[in-house]
Amino acid sequence: MTDTIAYDVNDGIATITLNRPESLNAFNREMRHGLNQATEQAANDQSVRVVVLRGAGRAFCSGADLAEGLPADQVKGIIENEFKPALMNLATMPKPVIASVRGAAAGIGASFAFACDLTVMSDGAFFMMPFAMIGLVPDGGATMQLVRAVGQRKAYEMAIEGTRLSAQDAAEYGLANRVVLDADLETETMEWAKSLCDKAPLALASTKQVVRDVALAGLDQSISIEAEVQAGLAASEDCAEGIRAFFEKRPPVYRGR
């Protein structure tokens, strides 16, 4: 893998770790490419029965690394060619994937948690869609996932207000399976993964396929639609102002262009 992605296989469990704790595991180019490699390797490794996706340190993932820049002419390609392959690998590989979420799962970080089959959250974890704060829309399939889980109105509120969805609320909406004490997150996640290793692999794979086909038939198209819209917004003055304000730690002044 790369320094930004840690990959480990033990007793049939592949653990993929987003490994930029100093930036709350924000995605840069190296991490995007590393996650593509890691998810593909896990999908194709016959010794792997279950995959765990986690973040190093105190957050799952804070989203895209804005310090890397947001070139408007590259946004669509980044979503389609660098984020989408890993998202689809998680969603379609013939083995269960567990998201182990501590702290923030924000922006594209939330999208990756949503793309997993099962989710364990620590009691202080949360999902957040901060896109509107910098003049963008949710991407990585998050719009579809949120609308189906929380409904159109709540999804719209989360997207435009950037409000947090707590672990407890996420469980109520079906975006998380289990909420555990922060100190128990790794233990609870790995115990669940080990129990799944004892189940029939073909049954797990077939059940995943059926559930995904029924519930997420529009994921592929949703990611592409978001990428198209995102590319236009990334070229806007409002987006540039939102990013400047973010780094200058001040309220943005939007002009609707």
pLDDT per residue rounded down to tens, the chain (257 residues):
679 999 999 999 999 999 999 999 999 999 999 999 999 999 999 999 999 999 999 999 999 999 998 888 999 999 999 999 999 999 999 999 999 999 999 999 999 999 999 999 999 999 999 999 999 999 999 999 999 999 999 999 999 999 999 999 999 999 999 999 999 999 999 999 999 998 988 888 888 888 887 666 677 777 887 888 888 889 898 899 889 999 999 988 877 78
Residue 80: DSSP 8-state? I
CATH number at residue 32: 3.90.226.10
- Cα distances from 34 to residues 37, 76, 82, 180, in angstroms, run 5, 19, 10, 29
**Identity of the residue numbered 23:** S
Structural contact between residues 74 and 233, judged by C-beta atoms closer than 8 angstroms: no
| Structure confidence at residue 216 (pLDDT) | 64
| Structure confidence at residue 141 (pLDDT) | 93
| Structure confidence at residue 140 (pLDDT) | 95
Within a domain: residue 195? no
| Structure confidence at residue 139 (pLDDT) | 95
Length of the chain: 257
| Structure confidence at residue 150 (pLDDT) | 94
Cα–Cα distance for residue pair 243/257, rounded to 1 Å: 15
Within a domain: residue 91? yes
The number of CA neighbours under 13 Å toward the Cβ of 137 is 24
Within a domain: residue 207? yes
| Structure confidence at residue 217 (pLDDT) | 61
Each residue's pLDDT tens digit, 107-153: 999 999 999 999 999 999 999 999 999 999 999 999 999 999 999 99
Cα–Cα distance for residue pair 201/220, rounded to 1 Å: 25
Within a domain: residue 172? yes
Helix axes 152-161, 142-150, angle to 10 degrees: 130
Range of the domain at 139: 5-182+200-245
State whether residue 125 is helix, strand or coil: coil
Within a domain: residue 250? no
What's CA 146's distance to the chain center, in Å?
12
Within a domain: residue 191? no
Quickly tell me which residue has 């819209």 as its tokens. Answer: 229
Within a domain: residue 89? yes
Tally of domains in the chain: 1
| Structure confidence at residue 221 (pLDDT) | 77
Within a domain: residue 254? no
Alpha helices in the chain (DSSP H): 29-44, 75-77, 84-92, 108-115, 142-150, 152-161, 167-173, 185-197, 201-215, 219-234, 237-248
